[in-house]
Amino acid sequence: MGLFAIRDYRRLFSAQVIALFGTGLATVALGLLAYELAGPRAGAVLATALTIKMVAYVVVAPLAAAYVDRLPRRWFLTLLDVVRALVVIALPFVTEVWHIYVLIGVLQTASAAFTPTFQAVIPDIVTEEADYTRALSASQVASTMESLLSPVLAAVALTFMSFNLLFLGTSAGFAVSALLVLSTRIPNARPSSHANAWDRAVAGIRTFAATPSLRGVMALNLVVAAAGSIVVVNTVNYVRDVLGGTQSDVAWMLAASGTGTLLVALVLPRVLDRVADRFVMLIGAAVLVLAVGAAVTTSAASVAAALPTGVIWVAIGGGMALIITPTGRVLRRAVDPTGIPEVFAAQFSLSHLAWLVTYPIAGWVATQAGFTITWTVLAGLAVIGAITALAAWPRNEKAEAEERAAVAVTQHGETVEAEGRAAVGVPRDETVETGGRTAVGVPRDETVETGGRTAVAVQPRIRKAEAQAHVAVAVATEVATREAAEAAEGTLAASQCACVRTI
């Protein structure tokens, strides 16, 4: 069954697309509103509004994840959409700058609760790994299309209407999104294993700190934010003031970055079927570091030309997609199903914490010191993030096997290690949920056929030092049957199979 044949996902995706385009229109309208109220101080007003947004995302998202399993998620998401619709429709009536800050605070608090809850719903509805990868890509494409088309739609709309009417369009979008979410069958969240609300709130961050791949993701968030803030914050001033472009040129430059993201997001699902997530994401980090370095070079050399700038913007968009698109897969594999909401919320907050660092640098430092110095600082942050990710997320088989394949489960004082193939120390035919996969119990030293692979159960009682030095994982050999493997492979199978034996 195809991804969009899943009725509930189809409706949720439609709700996401409508809300995204509404938000894009509101972003344009908010900038015009800030200029109307503050004139030359409009940039400072927008910078403050973005800071409020980032603070809300960093603080509210983990708290929302901590309490969301107490609420029916369908009604919770619907309520948040209604709140956002009401706030946006009030924006045209503000008369003071502080009114903007208050309304943006409420709006972004609702969005900070909505987004991680929505993201955690998707893997509960789209259960197949391949479809889930495509769902992540579809979300990235939707976000990219919004960044491509929203400025154009807003420009066309502003030729015959006031910018205040754009807020009405946004409010209508949130209302339609609420109706679509309400019509979707969304399962309630699994009860969390963390009884205390605060423990649940910080559980995702603790998981990030303890898991090598998630530490790598955390560092890559800084790379994305360092490069992305150049596009988000500096495009308008750079195109208008340095390149001497028009408002239309600004829209086209933003579209260039979106085009890079779109192209990568379209081809990446097939690539991820064959290439490891870590490799793809680190390639994305390298692309972003090179792109920001190129931006520094063009600025320092006073190369004020649209073509090289456009190429750099395309590279930034593509590099961001290489990192962002596989992130959901990495998060999902790192935890068991009950921990998914907390980890997604932690990623939501940690990624926006990185933006909270880079937005002021891109905006306020550029105003005082210029683009060259600002982009040099951001390039330094990108390099730090890339090197940290490379060091924190090891490539060797042992580390990957420990994280991906070996999830410790205590059963009567014995350790069980499983990769959805064989769980040692679990009674026969019983199952345990580990890392989002099901491990079938097998007595020690016996074998079982699972998923077309032969899994050999290993002795669980090994000393801790030995367990750390020699990872006990299942022997995986791609064969149709055990008999065929023994007859056809012989001694060659021993050298080709990916296995780590306990000594």
pLDDT tens digit sequence for 472-491: 333 333 333 333 333 333 33
165 and 230 co-located in one domain: no
Q: Which of 395, 420, 446 is the last residue of a domain?
A: 395
The pLDDT value given to residue 487: 34
Please report whether residue 322 resides in a domain.
yes
The pLDDT value given to residue 158: 66
pTM of the model: 0.66
- Does residue 463 have a pLDDT over 70? no
**CATH code of the domain containing 241:** 1.20.1250.20
Q: What is the mean pLDDT of residues 375-400?
A: 86
**pLDDT tens-place string over residues 233-243:** 888 788 878 88
How many domains would you assign to the chain? 3
Q: What is the H or E stretch that residue 415 is in?
A: strand 414-416
372 and 441 co-located in one domain: no
The pLDDT value given to residue 406: 41
Q: To which residue do tokens 């940039």 refer?
A: 43
| Residue span of the structural domain in which 95 resides | 1-128+151-185
Please report whether residue 430 resides in a domain.
yes
Report d(CA 321, CA 219) in Å as an integer.
Answer: 16
Assign 500 a pLDDT band (cuts: 50, 70, 90): very low
Please report whether residue 58 resides in a domain.
yes
Terminal Cα distance for the chain, rounded: 44
The pLDDT value given to residue 501: 28
Report d(CA 221, CA 154) in Å as an integer.
Answer: 30
How many percent of the chain have pLDDT more than 70? 68
346 and 491 co-located in one domain: no
**pLDDT tens-place string over residues 202-250:** 778 888 988 899 999 999 999 999 999 898 888 878 887 888 887 667 7
- More confident call, 435 vs 338: 338
**pLDDT tens-place string over residues 319-350:** 999 998 888 889 888 888 777 767 877 787 78
The pLDDT value given to residue 413: 35
Report d(CA 78, CA 186) in Å as an integer.
Answer: 11
Q: To which residue do tokens 């969304």 refer?
A: 186
- Does residue 423 have a pLDDT over 60? no
405 and 384 co-located in one domain: no
Assign 39 a pLDDT band (cuts: 50, 70, 90): low
